[in-house]
Amino acid sequence: MAKLFEPITIGNLTLDNRIVIAPMCQYSAENGRMTDWHAMHLGNLAQSGAGILTIEASAVSPEGRISYADVGLWDDETEEAMGTVLESVRRWSDMPIAIQLAHAGRKASTAKPWDGGKQIAPGAENGWQTVSASTLPFLPDENPPEALDEAGLARIRDAFADAARRAARLGIDAVQIHGAHGYLLHQFLSPLSNKRTDRYGGSLENRMRFPLEVYDAVRAAFPADRPVTMRVSGTDWAEGGWDIEQTVAFAKALEARGCAAYHVSSGGLDAGQQIPVGPNYQVPLARKVKEAVSMPVIAVGLITEPEQAEAIVSTGEADMIGLARTVLYDPRWPWHAAAALGAQVKAAPQFLRCQPRVYKELFKQA
């Protein structure tokens, strides 16, 4: 059997296979509330045959959204809207569902990508004041963020915990904390964005302090029998920034706290990043982490071919693979991968008649 389609257990959650649908922002929410678009989008991916589906970055507070059209989970209204979508999805799929809880920090208050994606100034329509570890903006011409004080840090920690409790009430199976791509927790981790002189800045231990406090708060708020994981950028791809050695140290600190899995991406923190983009370009980062910890490690980044994904997990470079744009382009990618690798995949009974004659054992009924 293909390793990609072997079950794997994360915490107490066992997945049918090692394909993770990674969180993908849709910029289609209204005041943080999910819409019919999300029911259609997530419902489609819940029929893909993947091991687990991750809800897009969900802001823990209004100012934590990347754009004004981002999903949130910060009050009863956003919780109710997400619950309505999940009820619809679950009616037709038993795929486990995770959520990525996030705060964009200084990269917040933007237009939608298809409207240019530029930051919207405070006071302008759909804009607000951003916050970060320090007062450095992401781009020189952007409005500087406010540096969070102790009260601000406590407020955001509490917001992450509250969102985790709401996720638990919604029956979500796992939480992923967003510590990657230049968003708030990454802004604390990287010396390029964190210029603080208090106990949250300077040394690696200090820069990890706030992200670890957020992890602890989420872990305490989310049911103990459900996994909490972390997504990180393995490197800033910029001189003097966050790198793989620090990523490994962060992984070890999280594992000691009970982190159930570590999703290794890269970049997003520094506008001058130099990324050597190509197939598997982030997999070596995942491999470095996997060599240092025992918790499952997820690799991501231009993984597009079944044989490519199988090689990553079968050679031990990572335990799982994450798909984002690949599965947007081909929402049945896990079906096609199972066919190519001689494996089986779940399919809803409504789809069983489409099983190709040459793959007589492809589908097992969901």
pLDDT in tens, 280-319: 999 999 999 999 999 999 999 999 999 999 999 999 999 9
* Mean pLDDT, residues 39-62 taken together: 98
Model confidence at 75: pLDDT above 90: yes
Model confidence at 352: pLDDT above 90: yes
Question: How many C-beta atoms surround the C-beta of residue 196 within 10 A?
Answer: 17
Q: What is the pLDDT of residue 146?
A: 98
Residue 262 known to be catalytic:
no
Q: What is the pLDDT of residue 1?
A: 80
Contact criterion met (CB below 8 Å) for 231 and 178: yes
Q: Name the catalytic one among 27, 68, 183, 215.
A: 183
Model confidence at 366: pLDDT above 80: no
Model confidence at 134: pLDDT above 90: yes
Query: Roughly how many angstroms between the first and final C-alpha of the chain, as a whole number?
Result: 19
Model confidence at 328: pLDDT above 90: yes
Q: pTM for the full model?
A: 0.97
Residue 111's identity, in one-letter code, is A
* Mean pLDDT, residues 152-168 taken together: 98
Q: What is the pLDDT of residue 215?
A: 98
Strand partners, 177: 101, 230
Q: What is the pLDDT of residue 276?
A: 92
Query: Residue 333's pLDDT band (boundaries 50, 70, 90)?
Result: very high
Burial (0-12, 13-18, 19+ Cβ within 10 Å), 76:
exposed
Model confidence at 170: pLDDT above 80: yes
Cα–Cα distance, 221 to 200 (Å, whole number) = 23
Cα–Cα distance, 6 to 234 (Å, whole number) = 26
Computed over every residue of the chain, the mean pLDDT equals 97
* Mean pLDDT, residues 27-37 taken together: 98
Instruction: Express as a percent the part of the chain with pLDDT over 70.
Output: 100
